[in-house]
Structure 1
Amino acid sequence: MILILISPRNAGLPFADWLDEERGRLLAVTARGTDPGPGFLDVEQVADYTDDTAVRDAARRLRERHDITRVLALAEVDVERAAALRAELDVPGQRPDSARAYRDKVLMKERAAAGGVRVPAFAPVRDETEVLAFMAAHPGPVVVKPRDGSGSTGVAVLDGPADVPSVADQVRSGGHEVEEFVAGRFHHVDALHVDGEPVVSVPSAYTDGGCLSHWTDSGNGSWTLEADDPLHARLTEQTQRLIAALPPAPALFVHAEFFVTDTREIVLCEVAGRVGGTPIPAMLRIVLGLDPRELWSRIECGLPVDLDAVRAHARSAPLVANFGLPPRDGRVTRVPEQPPAGTTDFTVLTDVGEDWSGERYRNRKSGDFVATWLVTARTEGDLLARVAKSEAEAEAGFGWALTAEVSP
């Protein structure tokens, strides 16, 4: 039987449809109050899904009642949990050494650099004195981030030593790194490898600001590069080199991020051993011909997939852009009544009255959106023009009672 770890952020995904051969025999661990959907034979729920011990103990209780042959996880928080359970149950799939390398940004960069991938100068840090020492050795802005973070949560850009006190408590809490700030255009590559061989690679460029755009309440997204763009081949090659540098797994779906500097040098930002977050799956569905999470779920669970059809679809697909609007510091007063012209998959992810202010706003992630959509075209120029037009229309459809406007 297949055990699926279902993060609350992945609630509602149609696992029974994706894994139809196993419908009615699926097992799940999820958060209390989360409906895993149809097709599950047995479910364990935990009060706190951030508690690793609770999630693993719930999986062990399922193991006592059922024969588990595969473990599936789609969320970043579950990557290492799933790997540990596979090792414990002795079932196929990524194991802890590989999973850790795709989560720990220090270990990741050490292995990448040893494999010939250009990485920024970096160091693990435990207190503000180590951050200051790094800044003295590497003049200029630096980035402080959690070693195992995701979605740009906890990331801080420091322009100089005077900014260090602002992250002192964060760094002393443990598990952080500092690295040099790399100026350049931000890109991502979404790639599937099976049995050590590349199946498909989709290089894309982020809009200005990339995954940090939400810091300024700006919309952000990305678009697939044209096949004859020289960066397409170079980013694909770097991703393959990166995967070869990290500990292997029977199959991998990775979301890698790179900076491309003004001198066209490609520098690793980080890589995740999972499908990229919203709205990237919708974009990749246009390229691959099916939802990448379905593709990955079937591969991870040992079910048949026509990889040649995936390759062929990727070769003939149009250019596609995804875009999303982040929340504001306030309450939603109006949502769009209709999609912007020329878009597909327009999805409003909020309701009138929803409050994004206070701590929720401060802790927002780069993947937190109030609306997302797709745009397609055959040339990059047409694609980007359509993205800009759709952003303006979607933004005009929202209304906000901003905290700054209603505070006394």
Structure 2
Amino acid sequence: MKTRALIMVEGHPRGNALLYAKAAKHLGLHPITLSADPARYGYLAAEKIESIHINTNNLDALIQECSRLRETYDIAGITGALDSVYAKVAKLCRHFDLPGPNPASIDQCLDKFAQRQLLGEAGLPIPAYRLAANATDVKSSAAELGLPVVLKPAEGSGSRGVRLCRKVDELTEHTSYLLSGKHIWRSPPRILVEEFAEGPYYCAHIMGNEVIGIEGGELGPPPYFVFRATTCPPLLTDDEHERIADVSLSCLHALGLGWGPTCIEFRWTKRGPVVIEVNPRLGGAPSPQLIQLAYGVDLITEHVKLVIGDELDLRKRLSHTAAARILVADRDGILDWIGGESRAAAVSGVAEVKFYVEPKASIVRKGNIEDCIGHLVATSPTFAETDAILRRAVDLLDWSITPF
């Protein structure tokens, strides 16, 4: 009898991929990671997870490799944690007749311009926007919309290449950065120029057609969009919660989603919840951990169960508050040392203290998710108590960065 395997296309150096592998093992599956650079994911060797070197940008190569693996394993399901491979994951599932999302829906959702068009046609609340291919387009689009505007690549994740531009010189500077070759494009450059939707940040976490929970977030200082803290659930009224949930489900309908996980980002503006982005995947770490601690629903395990055709259990077993503090580097340089991890982890109510980097690492801030060097997660029955736990624990952490 062949061993049942879960195929992961790529992993994640600091995100949910290790949790997927652990969930697979817990469900009796053998996890296998297909990656263009397995050495990039240190946990593969540390956890003795099988990995195969392959060009994950080549769908034909992926099909051939999965066909070869089927000679040895019973492939129960295929999935991935990165935006950059998720469309190929969907196509692999379709090719091998395995449970998975609609490839066309994933493709149009990952194209932020196509996503904006579909949401707008459905009458959903989105920022005003324009598409630009060059500096002249960007300048004229910003003039039409009025400053401030947000410039962002029409594809990508983790706020890479995203910047708030309040003045013309900032607009010119960031346009130059995006088009000069410093930003890595996977296709010809296309820039979204968007109205700045100002207001508190929220994210709806969905499995299938069910909103499991809503998370609130705090971002660092402009012009970038780097998270500093997240809380689940945030302090929302029942009406506010319902409005976010209703718009979220309408987004799924407009984009042809509704299979598997989705996370939808909002800003609460003067006109209520405005959709910033729909991501046809789980939210990045530590969001799934917060959902599990707050509601008792393990989204990663439930996603793996969906991928292999098992029955889901999305019943909420808890009603707690879970929150995270995102640890962000305050300067560029060499990380000399990290201290206080064990003391912070010992604080009652702390669920996880995790650093993504180790001493002697080179720190170069880019104004995106890569500026984050770790996180700390805590939970308790109340919002105030969880916040107090986090404050105590964060005060025990310290590190030193020597400037270059």
The TM-score normalised by the length of structure 1 is: 0.82
Equivalent position of 2:92 in the other structure = 85
How much has 1:38 moved relative to structure 2? 7.2
**Structure 1 position 295 matched with structure 2 position 302:** yes
Q: Write out per-residue CA displacement over residues 348-386 of structure 1, whole angstroms, 9 at most, x where no aligned residue.
A: 31566233423xx226516833232123233x4444454
Aligned to 2:400: 400
Partner of 1:18: 24
Shift of 1:175: 3.0
1:75 to 79, 82, 98: 82
Whole-angstrom distance in 2 between the partners of 1:375 and 1:367: 25
Q: Indicate if the aligned counterparts of 2:149 and 2:164 stay in contact, CA closer than 8 A.
A: yes
CA displacement at 1:234 relative to structure 2: 1.1
Distance 2:131 2:223 in 1: 26
The answer on 1:153 being equivalent to 2:160 is: yes
Q: Give the aligned length.
A: 379
1:272 equivalent to 2:279? Answer yes
* Partners of 2:349 and 2:386 within 8 A in 1: no
Q: Per-residue CA shift, 1:35-82, capped at 9, x if unaligned?
A: 278797x75213x6xx512x7514422314416563212222221120
Counterpart for residue 182 of structure 2: none
Task: Give matches, 1:64-213, under 5 Å.
Answer: 64-66=68-70, 68=75, 70-172=77-179, 174-193=189-208, 198-207=209-218, 209=219
Give the match for residue 354 of structure 2. Answer: 348
Q: Name structure 2 gaps, 5 residues minimum.
A: 180-184
Correspondent of 1:240 among 241, 246, 249: 249
The corresponding residue for 1:254 is 262
4+ runs deviating over 6 angstroms? 36-40
Residue 221 of structure 1 aligns to a residue in which SS?
A: strand
CA RMSD of aligned residues (A): 3.0
- What does residue 65 of structure 2 align with? 61
User: What is the identity, as a one-letter code, of the residue corresponding to 2:213?
Assistant: V
The alpha-carbon deviation at position 186 of structure 1 amounts to 0.9
Moved more, 80-89 or 29-38: 29-38
What is the percent sequence identity of the aligned residues?
17
Partner SS for 1:362: coil
Q: C-alpha distance in 1, partners of 2:250/2:225?
A: 34
**SS of the counterpart of 2:369?**
coil
| Residue 377 to residue 145, structure 1, CA distance change in 2 (3 Å) | same
CA–CA distance in structure 2, aligned partners of residues 65 and 202 of structure 1: 37
